[in-house]
Amino acid sequence: MGQKTFKFRQVKAECWECTSHIQDKHLKVRVNKRNYNLHHIIYEHNYGAVKDTEVVHHLCENPRCLNPIHLVKMSRIDHMRHHSIIRASIKVAQIHPEYGVLKVWDSLTEASQNGYTRSNITLCCASKVELYMDCWWMKVRY
Ligand SMILES: [Zn+2]
Ligand SMILES: [Zn+2]
């Protein structure tokens, strides 16, 4: 008799923020006398092993988050590239399914200063959730 796998989708894109185990901005645990990032362990527990050339990245950009749907593995090179793109603050388009483009924000920072949650926009851009505030969100590259 085989094992049944349940698949489910979390509708709200909320971070599970851990408030213990904090050590230089990430959460650490000690296993066999080595320190590991807790989000790395949570990822491996849910999705399988991560190679030495890969890192586990937070789609929500919240280093204390342990929500498995916010975690993806990336090659170290892509990861560095991704974070340098964030620093260069690319534009983000807010698109309503009926009314079209409502606004193109100059950066995630600008959108977050106007009441939108950065992590929810990021999840939407990564297609982890479909809509945020009734809109699609897309990174704009020129
Ligand atoms: Zn999160
Ligand atoms: Zn990252």
Residue 142 has pLDDT above 80, yes or no: no
How many angstroms does the Cα of residue 2 sit away from the middle of ligand 1? 32
Provide the pLDDT confidence category of residue 133 given band limits of 50, 70 and 90. Answer: very high
Q: Which ligand is nearest to the CA of 10?
A: 1
Q: Which residues surround ligand 2, an ion (CB under 5 A)?
A: 57
Q: What's the N-to-C CA distance of the chain in angstroms?
A: 53
Q: What is the pLDDT of residue 11?
A: 47
pLDDT in tens, 79-92: 988 887 666 667 89
Q: Which ligand is nearest to the CA of 64?
A: 1
DSSP state, 116?
-
How many angstroms does the Cα of residue 71 sit away from the middle of ligand 2? 9
Helix (H) or strand (E) holding 103: strand 100-105
Query: 23: which strand partners?
Result: 26
For the chain, state the CA radius of gyration.
Answer: 17
> 96 with 54: CB under 8 angstroms?
no
What is the model's pTM? 0.56
pLDDT in tens, 47-106: 999 999 999 999 888 888 889 989 999 999 889 888 876 666 678 999 999 889 999 998
Q: What is the pLDDT of residue 85?
A: 66
Q: Which ligand is nearest to the CA of 78?
A: 2
How many residues comprise the chain? 142
Whole-angstrom Cα distance, residue 123 to residue 5? 25
- Residue boundaries of the structural domains of the chain: 22-84, 90-140
How many angstroms does the Cα of residue 1 sit away from the middle of ligand 1? 36
